[in-house]
Amino acid sequence: EEGESASSEESEPDEAPAADGPGAHTGPPSAPLPPAPAGVGHESPAPSRPPPAARASSPSQGTASHPPRPLAKPAVFVPVNRLPEMQEERLKLPILSEEQVIMEAVAEHPIVIVCGETGSGKTTQVPQFLYEAGYSSSDSIIGVTEPRRVAAVAMSQRVAQEMNLSQRVVSYQIRYEGNVTEETRIKFMTDGVLLKEIQKDFLLSRYKVVVLDEAHERSVYTDVLLGLLSRIVALRAKRHLPLKLLIMSATLRVEDFTQNQRLFPKPPPVIKVESRQFPVTVHFNKRTPLEDYAGECFRKVCKIHRMLPAGGILVFLTGQAEVHALCRRLRRAFPASRARAPEKDQEDSVEEMRKFKRSRARAKRARTATLPQINLDNYSVLPVGEGDEDREAEMDEEEEALGSDLDLDLGDEGPDGGEHPDASLPLHVLPLYSLLAPERQAQVFRPPPEGARLCVVATNVAETSLTIPGIKYVVDCGKVKRRFYDRVTGVSSFRVTWVSQASADQRAGRAGRTEPGHCYRWATWFPAPPSMSPCPREQQPRGHAALPVINFPFPTPPSTEALVAAEELLIALGALQAPQQARRMKQLEVSRLSCPITELGRTMATFPVAPRYAKMLALSRQHGCLPYAIAIVAAMTVRELFEELDRPAASEEELASLKGRRARVAQVKRAWAGQGASLKLGDLMVLLGAVGACEYAGCSPQFCEANGLRYKAMLEVRRLRGQLTTAVNAVCPEAGLFLDPKMQPPTESQVTALRQLVTAGLGDHVARRVQSEDLLDEKWRNAYRTPLLDDPVFVHPSSVLFRELPEFVVYQEIVETTKMYMKGVSAVEIQWIPALLPSYCQFNPPLEEPGPVYCPERGRVLCHRTSVFYRIGWPLPAVQVD
Ligand code: CDP
Ligand code: MG
């Protein structure tokens, strides 16, 4: 029904100002336009105007064959030799008409905010403006931060392509991976990478400009980064090495940035990019499918494809598993030849596994009989200065976890699932989510095969981070899956919730980029977002123990409650000195909260992992546990080593194969957990076994496939292990640590020491199996109590301790699905609790000072108490003086 030619006609007005110079709305008078530089290679309007004069930047030289012409004003202009078709594409973007305004603002102000709708060209164009204006040279570059890895990789590729430059010049760096070279001038990175660089060089002297993209996301990292950058800009100005900061946001709600005196004493200018958004008609479904929204999406796509004019379809679903299921279903409905992944050969890996088991048996024989006791005051592993790279991408990891954590009802036959659409027109179905391999992500930006209709099934990465060209129809399930963290109870849960009105509008807007579009949804109301914090405190930036948190210029300061909770955890872990008893009794006031950091805290802060894990590492030099602790911590940090097998099957044969794999994984886990002491280390022993066995097998994809491990996750574990090992060695060479590819399994006494380390680190995650008196109520069968929850929690069925159910356990996290489940469970001996977790115990008579109840020399419990309780009332055995 819509005119086909709309896009080319509508784009004219935008081209005009580019050709005629800055629009009438331009503020300050601008320099006369120079002619287009020679050698641009086509007749189209000048790709970019030179920036205003008086810019103190050292010009990069143009290539010899395309020397820049002398300019009317002494401004720097670095020519870019774009391909004509690329240039044509660019000129359609609304942001091109604002180039002059943006660059003038950048020249005059240290900090500039750019707002513009998703797809207006912020991410791809602003770095090019800066490059052309000479904001990069061989020793100072343009940095662009993205909250998601997907965006960092995809955008660096896109910009390189648009500028006709290699990825040696326009590069990216994400956790563990990147293609930065000496020639790099524009560097896309995740915000975690930049945070890490700030730790190494607080002035960020390598950068002349930092672009903070997607500031509207307001993740903890972007907020921390903003706070730090505001300080860095001021410092650099003092040293006459000005650093420019550009903040880019897809929304106009930037008061947090402009009105915050502490953050920016002088409000930065805000430049709004008017985007050309075509009207999008929103259609509401008559029925609201509360359950089978994925099925409803399927039917909607079929209908659009059969009945409506050409134009791409973008479907929003909530998680990776759903995305795959819908892709499969659509491909079956509209078949196109597609190569199937070959079945992997499992023989090799089985042999490797046997070898590992044999060597473990050897080690067991060699075990020592003495029961070690770890010493809480012995954290002399470090200090470590650097070597650790970055810490980011939790959002991505989370999404991965999300993709696998909810059971999704995606039954193939919905109420009218028998529908078999006309398959004459090919449908080019592509998935899109954060952790999809970059090559496969890039596919969505390519035009579909001739005659086919593009259909992208995405999670909400497509909401603002990535703009897919040619989308005319949006099918929005109206939901989003998020990980929630209850600060009070410490429970993480994955929940599918309704999206906010703002998100829904964003999603609909994806349909109107190039011509009028249509959006199909069913929710007509959007409840207020839940009040729980989506940010677990252990995911708050690591090493924040070392940051002056209280006076930190957060755009929006975290709640007092969150700060108190974070600080309490750090005090309990021993990273911060406990305030005097008297002060603790009072309701703590934020301004008084700055407890001094302890030596243990300083050691912990140097590890690029969450505080609990950092504590484990800091203590783990004892009993030769360091390599094992590193392996366990790396595995816990990466999360979800095992592939998701609880997903619903699409067919009988898939169901059978899933069942087979589940049995196989359970068997593998039992083998890795072993018996006796090692079984008591529980799921963490499984992690250790997985890492050991996988390295033994050379971390091959075949091995992972055969044992139900996620290959990508195992590669990350390997990198993180390497990183942590290097970190320890850099400053503590006498630790003599090396990354042993054939790591011998721990001896029995080492396993016991490891269990103690884990207990010391996860002290606030202790759970106790319910006692018989509770069992009158059926819901407490096999349940555990934790100090913070009234409800029962359970050992997750995938745990190797599911059948053991020890009385005391520590867990890595609680995840709520059908019940509250503990994951990453390990058994604890009751007598360890007062010794290893004194700050979580009440002693009678009380301890004078909260602090160790250890005698470091003897490694024995020092205090004599008549009674000891864990936190809120579990009696524990009284400890005796030796
Ligand atoms: O950052 P912002 O949302 O403002 O826009 P952008 O990401 O710079 O995208 C500008 C345009 O480039 C969009 O219309 C995208 O469709 C297009 N683009 C593309 O065609 N291929 C890519 N790999 C990336 C972006
Ligand atoms: Mg963008």
> In this predicted model, which residue has the larger pLDDT, 125 or 479?
125
Torsion of CA 733, 734, 738, 740, to 10 degrees: 180
As a whole number of angstroms, the distance between CA 681 and CA 685 comes to: 5
% of residues, the chain, pLDDT over 70: 66
**Does the beta carbon of 319 lie inside 6 Å of ligand 1?**
no
**Does the beta carbon of 438 lie inside 6 Å of ligand 1?**
no
Torsion of CA 243, 130, 7, 505, to 10 degrees: -10
> In this predicted model, which residue has the larger pLDDT, 350 or 449?
449
Residue 362: its pLDDT value, please? Answer: 52
% of residues, the chain, pLDDT over 90: 28
Of 83, 89, 467, 515, which is best to mutate to test ligand 1, by the most ligand atoms within 8 angstroms of its C-beta?
467
Structure tokens at 73: 């004003």
Among candidates 481, 475, 503, which has minimal Cα distance to 494?
Answer: 481
> Cα(97) to centroid of ligand 2, in Å?
17
DSSP line for 763-800: GGGEEEEPPGGGGGSGGGTT-EE-TT-SS-BEE-TTST
Ligand nearest to the CA of 121: 1
DSSP line for 58-103: PPPPPPTTSPPPPPSSS---------HHHHHHHHTSGGGGGHHHHH
Residue 584: its pLDDT value, please? Answer: 46
> Cα(545) to centroid of ligand 2, in Å?
32
Of 245-249, 281-285, 486-490, 520-524, which gets the smallest average pLDDT?
Answer: 486-490
> Cα(154) to centroid of ligand 1, in Å?
10
Asked whether the predicted pLDDT for residue 424 surpasses 70, the reply is no
- The answer to whether residues 410 and 647 touch, using CB atoms and an 8 Å cutoff, is no
SS3 call for 220: helix
pLDDT mean over 4-22: 34
Closest atom of ligand 1 relative to the 445 alpha carbon? 21
Ligand nearest to the CA of 125: 1
Q: Residues 664-678: pLDDT tens digits?
A: 999 999 999 988 888
**Does the beta carbon of 47 lie inside 6 Å of ligand 1?**
no
Residue 18: its pLDDT value, please? Answer: 35
As a whole number of angstroms, the distance between CA 55 and CA 74 comes to: 9
Closest atom of ligand 1 relative to the 513 alpha carbon? 14
pLDDT mean over 697-713: 90
> Cα(79) to centroid of ligand 2, in Å?
24
**Does the beta carbon of 158 lie inside 6 Å of ligand 1?**
yes
As a whole number of angstroms, the distance between CA 647 and CA 669 comes to: 19
Ligand nearest to the CA of 217: 2
Q: Hey, what long-range contacts does 17-25 have (CB within 8 A, 24 or more apart)?
A: 17/97, 18/45, 18/46, 18/91, 18/96, 18/97, 18/99, 19/45, 19/46, 21/49, 21/100, 22/49, 22/100, 22/101, 23/97, 25/101
Closest atom of ligand 1 relative to the 214 alpha carbon? 1
Asked whether the predicted pLDDT for residue 35 surpasses 60, the reply is no
Nearest protein CA to atom 8 of ligand 1, as residue: 121
Residue 36: its pLDDT value, please? Answer: 38
> In this predicted model, which residue has the larger pLDDT, 707 or 288?
707
pLDDT mean over 392-411: 34
Asked whether the predicted pLDDT for residue 594 surpasses 70, the reply is no
Nearest protein CA to atom 16 of ligand 1, as residue: 469
Closest atom of ligand 1 relative to the 125 alpha carbon? 8
Of 95, 124, 464, which is best to mutate to test ligand 1, by the most ligand atoms within 8 angstroms of its C-beta?
124
Q: Which of 4-8, 176-180, 211-215 has the highest mean pLDDT?
A: 211-215
Asked whether the predicted pLDDT for residue 340 surpasses 50, the reply is no
Of 15-19, 479-483, 540-544, which gets the smallest average pLDDT?
Answer: 15-19
pLDDT mean over 217-231: 83
**Does the beta carbon of 492 lie inside 6 Å of ligand 1?**
no
Of 577-586, 632-641, 742-751, which gets the smallest average pLDDT?
Answer: 577-586
**Does the beta carbon of 124 lie inside 6 Å of ligand 1?**
yes
Residue 868: pLDDT band by 50, 70, 90 thresholds? low
The model's pTM is: 0.61
Structure tokens at 201: 């060089």
Residue 608: pLDDT band by 50, 70, 90 thresholds? confident
Residue 643: pLDDT band by 50, 70, 90 thresholds? confident
> Cα(269) to centroid of ligand 2, in Å?
20
Q: Residues 429-477: pLDDT tens digits?
A: 999 987 777 778 888 988 899 889 999 999 888 888 788 888 999 999 8
**Does the beta carbon of 156 lie inside 6 Å of ligand 1?**
no
Asked whether the predicted pLDDT for residue 499 surpasses 60, the reply is yes
**Does the beta carbon of 116 lie inside 6 Å of ligand 1?**
yes
> Cα(187) to centroid of ligand 2, in Å?
15
As a whole number of angstroms, the distance between CA 407 and CA 700 comes to: 29
Asked whether the predicted pLDDT for residue 326 surpasses 90, the reply is yes
Closest atom of ligand 1 relative to the 95 alpha carbon? 4
Task: Kindly state the greatest CA–CA separation across the chain.
Answer: 90
pLDDT mean over 286-307: 82
Residue 519 gets the label, from left (phi > 0), alpha (psi -120 to 50) or beta, of beta
> Cα(467) to centroid of ligand 1, in Å?
5
> In this predicted model, which residue has the larger pLDDT, 39 or 334?
334
**Does the beta carbon of 165 lie inside 6 Å of ligand 1?**
no
Nearest protein CA to atom 25 of ligand 1, as residue: 467
Of 155, 158, 461, which is best to mutate to test ligand 1, by the most ligand atoms within 8 angstroms of its C-beta?
158
In this structure, are strands 471-476 and 517-521 parallel, antiparallel, or unpaired? parallel
Residue 800: its pLDDT value, please? Answer: 94
Closest atom of ligand 1 relative to the 116 alpha carbon? 4
List, in order, residues 6 or more apart from 181 with CB less than 8 Å away: 168, 169, 171
Mean of pLDDT over the chain: 74
**Does the beta carbon of 128 lie inside 6 Å of ligand 1?**
no
Q: Is the dihedral of CA 774, 778, 784, 786 positive or negative?
A: negative
- The answer to whether residues 226 and 214 touch, using CB atoms and an 8 Å cutoff, is no
DSSP line for 137-172: BTTBEEEEEESSHHHHHHHHHHHHHHHT--TTTEEE
Asked whether the predicted pLDDT for residue 392 surpasses 70, the reply is no
> Interface pTM (ipTM) of the complex?
0.98
Closest atom of ligand 1 relative to the 275 alpha carbon? 4
Q: Residues 237-276: pLDDT tens digits?
A: 999 999 999 999 987 777 777 887 778 888 899 999 987 7
Among candidates 165, 166, 214, which has minimal Cα distance to 190?
Answer: 214
**Does the beta carbon of 93 lie inside 6 Å of ligand 1?**
yes
